Structures are given as structure tokens and as C-alpha cells.
Amino acid sequence: MQLTFLGTSAGTPSLQRNVSAIALTLSRRGDYWLFDCGEATQHQFMRSALKPGKLDKIFITHLHGDHIFGLPGLLTSRSMGGISEPLTLYGPAGLKTFVETTLSLSGSFVTYPLEVIEIEAGEVFDDGKFKVTAYPLNHVLPCFGYRIEEHDKPGFLDAQRLKAENVPRGPWFQQLKRGEVVTLEDGRVINGQDYLGPATPGRKLAIFGDTAPVATALELAAEVDVMVHEATLEAAMEEKANGRGHSTTVQAATVARDARAKRFIATHFSSRYRFEDMPRLLAECQAIFPATELARDFAVFNL
């Protein structure tokens, strides 16, 4: 799994950063999900290694322009590029109206199956491999953070032990690998759980939308491998940040510490900050949570 940051600026783009968009690559096949789609996200795709045809889902945190104004262009460009793979969008109430209205008024269309699912807090997706849960945040518009959990991978089947106990090979081995109970032709009942090694814990990450401090943050980010959280302003500007539904460096790092996250990646920086300001912001975060990194456009983080 990889996180690719396509935009790391807050509110407006700058010469160094585009607005919010994060891609989560799920497998070696290169299929991925997108979290938010700010203006010019499709331009950022062209400067990255990501392929539009591998995009499977888009999760929108909220309906502010710096998080959704790139959607119409991306959706229609997929069609013009001949991509026929289906795409599903998840996001707050109003997302479907936004998509339908912008496409209709601009005379645009898509030629692939497009589904828009308006969500509420709670589980929004589970395909048996990954589960995504939405948590409400504290912003000036309804806004969500997403917790992505990979299901645990079953341990390896002890084929040598089965052989030693005269359990013949057959199609039931696939059932045993899933931990199921199998009745053999000779009447013996074999419980696959008894022949599996320890499961491999799935990876967990939390991707926050815009938010001032909120109680649900600790549940959203509890013991995740990676927490992605906005750090719009420096610690000295806490009142301004919170008044606009945002967090400071110190507030975001405190969430990572208190939630017992393993790693914190800060993003969504005010366009007032240049690259030369970043060491100062990083120091504020690391004073609270040492395992902090700062995102920049096109940065790739391995999970």
C-alpha cells in the first residue's frame, strides 16, 4: 500500500502546492482510491505515476471547493480517455447534486458506470478485504474523516501436519485455509482453525478531512499505522485556525499521540507557508509526536 499526495495546500493553491487530493494504492496491480479531488487534480495525475484507469473509488470529506472542484474535469476526462471501468463516489449529502448539476450545465457526460453514494457516519464500505468507516468532524460544513482497515490475513495452512495426520489433499484444502470445518469421506471432522498459523494483522490508517479539535478524532485514529491530518496553521494561530474549522500543528500532533498512532503525516498547509517554513512547522509537531512527517505534492509514503 502507498499514499501519494497530489495536493497539500489549504484553501487555495500556491506555486509550490496544489489543493487537496490523496491517492491510496491498494495492491501491486496499481488500483487505488482517491480521497478528495481539489481543482486541477487531473493535472497532478499527469505528473505522477498514477493511471486514471486504475482509479476505483473516490471518497470526498466535504463539499468545500478545494476538495471537490476537480471532480467534473476528472470524471469527464476519464470518458474522453476511453476508460470504461466503473467508478464509485462517496461523500456527504449534496455530492450527487453537485456532480449531476455540473455535468448537466456544462453539457458533459460520462460513458462508464458512475455511482454516487451519499454517506452518513458509520461503515460505508466493506468488500471482505478492506473496510471504510466515516467519522464526523468539526468543520464549518458537514465533514468526515475516513478510517481504512485491511482485514487480517489468515495464517498459513500447515500442510505437513495435515499430511502427517493422513488428511488427503483435495478441494477441501481451500476451505481449511479459510478456517472452515470440513467433514472428510471417512467421517472425520477437521477444523481448519486448528491447522492455521497466526493471522497477519491488517494495516489501518486514518485520513482526516478539515477539522478543528473534535472528540471523535481519537476513535477515528485509534492505534492506526498511519494518521493523515491537516495542520493548516502554526501553533501561535490556534484561535484563527479553530474559528475556521481547522487545526494547528500542535493540535494535530496531539491527536496522533493520544490516539497512539504509529505514524503521523501532516498536510493541508495554509498557502502562507513556503517550503522554507516547513522545518519550523515540523519541529512544532515533533515536539509533541516525534514520528511526524510533512507531506508535499507528489510525495509517496509506503505503508
Q: Which residues are annotated as a binding site for Zn(2+)?
A: 62, 64, 66-67, 139, 210, 268
Question: Which is it for the CA torsion 270, 272, 275, 278, positive or negative?
Answer: negative
**Looking at the DSSP assignment, which residues form a beta bridge with residue 266?**
229, 294
Q: Please give the full DSSP string across 177-223, using - where no structure is assigned.
A: HTT-EEE-TTS-EEEGGGGB-PPBPPPEEEE--S-BS-TTHHHHTTT
CA 80 to CA 276: how far, in whole Å?
A: 40
Decide if 126 is catalytic: no
CA 80 to CA 56: how far, in whole Å?
A: 17
CA 152 to CA 133: how far, in whole Å?
A: 16
Residue 128's Cβ-side half-sphere holds a number of Cα atoms within 13 Å equal to 2
* Range list of H helices, 223-293: 238-243, 249-258, 278-286
What residue numbers does the annotated binding site cover?
Answer: 62, 64, 66-67, 139, 210, 268
b/e map 228-251, b = 16+ CB within 10 Å: bbbbbbbbebbeebbeebbbbbbb
Residue 50's Cβ-side half-sphere holds a number of Cα atoms within 13 Å equal to 30
DSSP state, residue 114: E
State the catalytic residue, choosing from 66, 186, 258, 277: 66
- Which residues belong to the active site? 66
